[in-house]
Structure 1
Amino acid sequence: MVSRKRWMSLMSGLTFLLFCLVACQSLPGHHSTMIEFEKRQIDRNPSPIPLSPAESIKKIQLPPGYSIELVASEPMIQDPVALTWDGNGAMYVVQMNTFMNDARGTDQFASTSQIKKLEDTNGDGKMDKVSVFIDSLLLPRVILTIGDELIVGVTNVQHLYAYKDTDHDGKADQKRLVFENSALDARNMEHQNGGLIWNLDNWIYPSRDNLRFKYKNGLLVADTMIDNMIGQWGMTSDDYGRLYYSEAGPGLPVVQFNQMPAYGSLNFTDQYSDEFTVPYPIMSTLDAQGGPDVLSSSDSTLTHFTSGCGQSVFRGDRMPADMYGDYFIAEPVARIIKRGTINNQLGKRTVDNVYQEKEWLASSDFNFRPVNTYTGPDGCFYIVDMYHGIIQEGEFAEEDSYLNKKIKALGLDKNRHMGRIYRVRHKDFQPDYILPSLLDKSPLELISYLSHPNGWWRDMAQQLMIIHGDTSIKSRLEKIILDDIKTGQNHLAALHALWTLEGLGVIDLSVIKNVLHSVHPQIRKAAIWVGEKWIRQEDTAFMLSLAVLKNDPEQDVVFQLYLSLRTSGSATARSIVEDILETNSGNELIQFSHAVFLDSHARAKAEASRIKLLNKGDKKLLAQGAITFKQFCSNCHGADGKGILVQGIPSIAPPLAGSPRVNGDKIMLIQILLYGLKGPVDGKNYPGVMLPQKHQSDEWIASVLSYIRNSNDLGNRVSTVTVEEVEDIRQTASMDAMPDQRLLEIFKLGRGEAQNWSQGKPGSNGQRWGGHFRSALNDSLKKQNAQ
């Protein structure tokens, strides 16, 4: 990968010119040339007027050899945000038809969105048949095909449903609940689940929260993980089951990829290069939420990620070999797709830019909004372009804000109900337009697809064999595994065969022990991973057989052994873990993971001891508050309350750990959560605002505030907040406008004029506050509303 970057930066002179000429001749009519790609010319005055798909394609720049072609567009689809394919190659497209049709998000939560089924009936690679598979949905956001069913989740709801077309008319006529959680999701829609993936390890992972699922008897059975994953829109995995999340708000383009989430959260400050957080658009970014603060002073282009989403690790077979395994992430505000190379540094993964100060794909079309990317069944790279004027959710485009003014001035609210799906291809490869028919294959027939060069086919074959539940194929799968032990030449097929046996529940310990001696390190790693079944049973003989791998030459194997054994109570396991830690004292990945594990364990133990001393009511409040904090507050304030750190600095919201507002006056804290907070905090400006939560119940407010004031994880130790206190403040200290810190301080001082506030009660006879304070408060509100 390094040589690729050097080639990009060192090419010059006659060689460079000749290459450009060849590229131009080989791509007649294609807009992108090497010269344009290298120079990165900025359109400083992009027009917001919508373009046709053909016109929009001309605005897209790609490296030489690559081209982009239309697969589907309006009116066939509108407002697409995600897609998936079933085993026969039918495409299901999620449409958010009510998303931000004006700057206020009017009627955004009306149940009028759709999921459409698209098909290519003549084999030309373009969709020519469409049907409304599911109608009347509330902003659908989670989609996954499992067999002949489509799993769907919608906004504000945590239930998951399976839909099926039983009469083959292209429309779902059967709906059933596969995961039940009746609690409404009260988070901002940008912070709710935005992805669902059936991973290599046969767990189904959402993009956020601390749950994962197993598909059993037609249902999704939940398992609770140690930490809350806080990815946002989209997620992806690589050939070996490693998951990749991203966080749009704090501008983190890739997170939680150095350790599987079941072992806890693990992130390094240097897990991607500084340059990888910097977008390189080819148009001035006039509609960035942060306004001038996030724009370059020279050309008004976006200076850092603000909406990274829709990431994918490319695993197709109809593109250049150096693209396989690379990491791609869309940035719809910058109108780019960034490409990164994943490096292995003694087991620790890092991501770097492939190109220097430029992007793999960039557009100067104002309405181009790439929001998701995929590897397709045809071996090519797919892009979901929402093609929408407004991309920022309404709560961040308030009246009189910079973004709101831009929306109105440019007429962006008029640019809606369009959308495109593109295929990126390369001149040296022909897409595989032959549709898969995997839904029609028997389990025995599906086995051959485990060695397919396209990861999409391997994944689908594994999933379908598990769903079929036919254990008669066991010996055939074992043969693939055992035949590969000495050569490793078919290791991907062996890897999928191993996990298929696990998913079918017929994996034998004898096979695992044999696989521990495979020549391929990823097979040895998988053997440990699959073998956790026997580690949990404290099978001493098996753990002794694992001991030989503590000195494995590949750090991936050693790290997996450490992770799989570190929670075991077995003396044998503890001995192996101690040896690993001693032998690998200089390995950053292992040592940091262990330090985080010990800290987490110590905090959990201290928290449990402290909670024992609380009364029953406080215990209930803190338990409820902990759930809310992990699902809601940690998105911006961090799991430890220290903020989401970018290069060691809290970037999106102020820290809660040790905060004087958290540990101090309860009334002010209740007001902040009820009515929000904007402007600088302790002199520092943050990109977001604290949104009002007055729509939540008094118990909800009391529980989350009690937790952040009494959490061992956050290090705060003050009194809890009662439901009665919240009710009191809501009734007697309400605010009509979102306050800033200065106003709240004035409010606090003014309480001194009230008679009974030392006891936390308002003044009598309906007089809440003294005259001087009331006047100051009204003046402040008037000034605030006038700004």
Structure 2
Amino acid sequence: MGPAISLLPALAIAFSASQSSAQTPAPYSPAKSGFDFPIYTNHPPGNTLPNDPVRRGATTPPLHPDETRKLIQVPPGFEVRVFASEPMVVNPVAMTWDERGRLWVLELYEYPRGAKPGEKPRDRIKILEDTDADGVADKVTVFADGFNLATGLALGNGGVYLGAAPNLYFLQDTNAPAGSGAGALQKANKQTVLLTGFGLEDRHELLNGFAWGPDGWLYMTHGVFTRSKVRDAHDPDGFGVQMDAALARFHPRTKKFEVFADGTSNPWGVDWNERGDAFVSACVIQHLFHMAPGGQYNRQGGTWANPFGYVGDLPTKGLPAVVDWRHYRAAHAGICIYQGDQFPPEWRGLVMLGNIHQNALNCDRLTPLGSTYRAEKESTLLGPAGEALRAKTGATIKQGEEWRHVGPGNFLVSGDPWFRPVSVQTGPDGALWVMDWCDRYPC
């Protein structure tokens, strides 16, 4: 068995270092979320989307998770396994692990419209466990529910940090032994609002990407078309911190909130390399930024909170991305700089990025460049496009369809058009875990 790759989706295919069923799958009937997800567009009312197969969405029905797994290409020596699927997990948007190895998943039922007036919101936090060590989740615990448009999740300080605009919550289980870690938590019974003022204007660009930095701060990303003025929830007269496209952070002890770096577009995820440098994945504009404290970076639109850093046209001003090229399309979500020990050592330090338009995980290699970095498509380890397919079946790929195959810049490619990877992380087992939003439409 080779290194495992783990995925977690919203139609709930959760691939990870887990064993898929050997039985013939039954006809698949996906769990219902309560309403059909609409597709949003900037086109005037009454106009249809252009004849674009990506923006038009998948034209085939959803597949059973085991069938989806068979359509995933990975480099030779790697394998994909399913850890959990619907109805055990539905609409997952964020994940993390506790010290016992339990997988925590945030389910986002209310995207994008929000809960209906007068109805209880349905977003919730689940704990998934593999109690018999066969690599498949077999136990689910609902830790907390009743939230609306919840998009950020992190464990720490004996509780759970939850982002659900306009608030940042801290959830506790007071029945857990005092001083115990998150592994002792079972059911939230205390809720505290730490911060408020996070915007809700664009439901695609809410606060997201919670991750603990090497400095002990809780980091989060936030999109350009959602306006926030974040303040202490217990200080109604507080001035607040203005934020839209940014990487921000919260200190759990001092309760200080600040913008770490300003710019990009709709960033969705942050991770650090072994030197402690922060990298953010973004959409629409360039897809990868090295962000330093106080930096003002190229933006999709609008202006920085501090207007005195740069002048001139925004598209050409501000600190640049570490790339001046694109993968297929430009809808990236989730970032992982792999530093686990399950993959061979030559894979350490490579950047893995979810690409919801390509139904793929892209892979970039970072090279130091002065005080920053340059990123290029990883090609040394991935080889020419289609090489893995030729070695396995003898088939060759068509010119212009390299993006559909493992090769330079493409670590994982799915033939299932419903595959929408939104989170990529290294799990406690060293496997690469991928959360798949699994939807007909990319967003």
- Shorter-chain TM-score bucket reads 0.5 to 0.7
Matched, 1:314 2:338: yes
1:363-409 deviations in Å (ceiling 9; x for gaps):
111211111100000011000012222332xxxxxxxxxxxxxxxxx
1:8-61 deviations in Å (ceiling 9; x for gaps):
xxxxxxxxxxxxxxxxxxxxx9xxxxxxxxxxxx99x97521111110011111
1:272 shift after superposition: 1.5
In 2, distance between residues paired with 1:173 and 1:329? 36
Question: Which secondary structure does the structure 2 equivalent of 1:68 belong to?
Answer: strand
2:95 match: 83
Alignment of structure 1 residues 732-751 onto 2, 5 Å: none
Question: Which secondary structure does the structure 1 equivalent of 2:343 belong to?
Answer: coil
Question: Which secondary structure does the structure 1 equivalent of 2:68 belong to?
Answer: helix
In 1, distance between residues paired with 2:353 and 2:221? 15
In 1, distance between residues paired with 2:251 and 2:206? 20
1:93-135 deviations in Å (ceiling 9; x for gaps):
01111335xxx88949961111101112222332211011111
2:62 match: 50
In 1, distance between residues paired with 2:260 and 2:343? 36
1:292-348 deviations in Å (ceiling 9; x for gaps):
xxxxxxxxxxxx21x211111111111111211110111112201100101112333
With over 3 angstroms needed to count, the CA separation of the structure-2 counterparts of 1:214 and 1:370, relative to structure 1, is same
1:160-187 deviations in Å (ceiling 9; x for gaps):
323336256722222223x222x35143
In 1, distance between residues paired with 2:108 and 2:344? 33
2:173 match: 164
In 2, distance between residues paired with 1:229 and 1:158? 23
Alignment of structure 1 residues 319-468 onto 2, 5 Å: 319-355=343-379, 357=402, 358=407, 359-392=410-443
Higher relative contact order (CA 8 A, sep 6+): 2
2:250 alignment partner AA: F
1:619-662 deviations in Å (ceiling 9; x for gaps):
xxxxxxxxxxxxxxxxxxxxxxxxxxxxxxxxxxxxxxxxxxxx
In 1, distance between residues paired with 2:116 and 2:363? 36
In 2, distance between residues paired with 1:126 and 1:165? 30
Out of 211, 217, 221, the residue aligned to residue 207 of structure 1 is 221
Alignment of structure 1 residues 173-322 onto 2, 5 Å: 173-177=189-193, 179-181=194-196, 183=197, 185-208=199-222, 209=243, 211-216=248-253, 220-225=255-260, 227=262, 231-248=266-283, 250-255=284-289, 257=290, 259-265=291-297, 269=320, 271-274=322-325, 277-279=326-328, 304-305=329-330, 307-322=331-346
With over 3 angstroms needed to count, the CA separation of the structure-2 counterparts of 1:107 and 1:252, relative to structure 1, is farther
In 1, distance between residues paired with 2:166 and 2:114? 19
> TM-score if structure 2 supplies the norm length?
0.64
Identical counterparts, % of pairs: 24
Assess if the C-alpha contact under 8 Å between 2:58 and 2:418 holds in 1.
Answer: no
With over 3 angstroms needed to count, the CA separation of the structure-2 counterparts of 1:60 and 1:251, relative to structure 1, is farther
The structure richer in helix per residue is 1
1:63 shift after superposition: 1.0
Assess if the C-alpha contact under 8 Å between 2:114 and 2:149 holds in 1.
Answer: no
1:171 alignment partner AA: K
Assess if the C-alpha contact under 8 Å between 1:326 and 1:342 holds in 2.
Answer: yes
With over 3 angstroms needed to count, the CA separation of the structure-2 counterparts of 1:46 and 1:245, relative to structure 1, is closer
Assess if the C-alpha contact under 8 Å between 1:231 and 1:245 holds in 2.
Answer: no
In 1, distance between residues paired with 2:168 and 2:285? 29
Question: Which secondary structure does the structure 1 equivalent of 2:75 belong to?
Answer: coil
1:89 shift after superposition: 1.5
Q: Point out the more displaced range, 335-344 or 80-89.
A: 80-89
1:234 shift after superposition: 1.8
Assess if the C-alpha contact under 8 Å between 1:337 and 1:362 holds in 2.
Answer: yes
In 2, distance between residues paired with 1:110 and 1:333? 32
1:132 match: 142
1:260 shift after superposition: 1.6
1:190 shift after superposition: 1.8
1:673-727 deviations in Å (ceiling 9; x for gaps):
xxxxxxxxxxxxxxxxxxxxxxxxxxxxxxxxxxxxxxxxxxxxxxxxxxxxxxx
With over 3 angstroms needed to count, the CA separation of the structure-2 counterparts of 1:56 and 1:312, relative to structure 1, is same
> TM-score if structure 1 supplies the norm length?
0.37
Assess if the C-alpha contact under 8 Å between 2:173 and 2:185 holds in 1.
Answer: no
1:212 alignment partner AA: R
1:270 shift after superposition: 6.6
1:394-453 deviations in Å (ceiling 9; x for gaps):
xxxxxxxxxxxxxxxxxxxxxxxxxxxxxxxxxxxxxxxxxxxxxxxxxxxxxxxxxxxx
With over 3 angstroms needed to count, the CA separation of the structure-2 counterparts of 1:229 and 1:367, relative to structure 1, is closer
In 2, distance between residues paired with 1:47 and 1:323? 35
In 2, distance between residues paired with 1:348 and 1:148? 36
State how many pairs are aligned.
313
In 2, distance between residues paired with 1:243 and 1:58? 34
1:229 shift after superposition: 6.6
Assess if the C-alpha contact under 8 Å between 1:142 and 1:153 holds in 2.
Answer: yes
1:704 match: none
1:131 alignment partner AA: T
1:143 shift after superposition: 0.8
Assess if the C-alpha contact under 8 Å between 2:110 and 2:149 holds in 1.
Answer: yes
Question: Which secondary structure does the structure 1 equivalent of 2:135 belong to?
Answer: coil
Matched, 1:153 2:163: yes
Question: Which secondary structure does the structure 2 equivalent of 1:390 belong to?
Answer: coil
The structure with the larger Rg is: 1
Assess if the C-alpha contact under 8 Å between 2:106 and 2:126 holds in 1.
Answer: yes
Assess if the C-alpha contact under 8 Å between 1:141 and 1:194 holds in 2.
Answer: yes
1:510-538 deviations in Å (ceiling 9; x for gaps):
xxxxxxxxxxxxxxxxxxxxxxxxxxxxx
The structure richer in strand per residue is 2
In 1, distance between residues paired with 2:126 and 2:422? 17
With over 3 angstroms needed to count, the CA separation of the structure-2 counterparts of 1:82 and 1:224, relative to structure 1, is closer
1:278 shift after superposition: 2.2
- Gapped runs of 5+ residues in structure 2? 1-21, 23-52, 177-183, 223-242, 299-317, 385-401
In 2, distance between residues paired with 1:224 and 1:192? 15
With over 3 angstroms needed to count, the CA separation of the structure-2 counterparts of 1:48 and 1:261, relative to structure 1, is farther
With over 3 angstroms needed to count, the CA separation of the structure-2 counterparts of 1:127 and 1:325, relative to structure 1, is same
Question: Which secondary structure does the structure 1 equivalent of 2:66 belong to?
Answer: helix
In 1, distance between residues paired with 2:199 and 2:169? 13
With over 3 angstroms needed to count, the CA separation of the structure-2 counterparts of 1:176 and 1:186, relative to structure 1, is closer
